[in-house]
Structure 1
Amino acid sequence: MSKEKNYVKRTQRDYSMSLKLQIVHEIERGELSTHGACKKYGVQARSTVVSWLRKFGNFDWETQTPSQMAKTPEQQIMELEAKVTLLEKQKAHLEQQVNFTDKKAIIFDMLIDIAEKEYNIDIRKNSSPEQLSYLKKNKNKP
């Protein structure tokens, strides 16, 4: 049995601006090739990625040098909006990770308390006398 891939015609509107910019940045940083970007992100044609590089990249395709041409205000706004969206997604993901880590720390702390009671041993690290005197000294300060 051979699986046939159904061809779905896609347009530029099928790809978000943040995705386009992310692909361009990854290629320009040398993390991906144009073919690699097509495979990784499911872009059907390499020419699509190349057109994004020409539109949004920092490379002058005429002279093969990095471009110093100023971008139009519309391009700058679109890039900044895409970056904001990407940063908001990253922030939400990091907040989720922090929440998970906090819960994990609470659970581990509870497990240590249970183990200390159950086995009647001190699991937590005991402080050295120098640390104890330092802690007592700072605890008494108002």
Structure 2
Amino acid sequence: MKTSTNMGYTKRTQKDYSLSFKLQVVEEIEPGQLDRLSAHLKYGIQARSTITSWLHKYGTFDWENLSVVTMAKTPEQKIIELEAKVKLLEKQKARAEYLAERADKKVIIFDMLVNMAEKEYDIQIRKNYRPELLKTSKKNKRKQ
């Protein structure tokens, strides 16, 4: 590589890099192994724009036909997307219903266990507050 050293600074030119080196960098960037900044830092390439120009020259991506405009979807595509959304929502609904039913069953089983424990040990597990006690206990909790 041609380099010129002026007071500790190494300046490189575009001509420094061999074609095989450029292709190696492009081959690492295109599949996503490296991004441009990582390649710039890893190989000590002077500017990221240099890597961009290599991607334009030697890469397989079609830079000329790159367009920002999004294509309008056909009615068939819209229908397919909406059907997929409906299926997803139906699955989510079914899962939510299953979990709600399961929670209800757990509550029933827990209630039965508490009833059995109360009968078996002849103790009162549930607290039955009178309405006026509920109001005072709520006020006490707020003060704390």
TM-score bin, normalised by smaller chain: 0.3 to 0.5
Relative contact order, higher structure (CA 8 A, sep 6+): 1
TM-score normalised according to structure 2 size: 0.41
TM-score normalised according to structure 1 size: 0.42
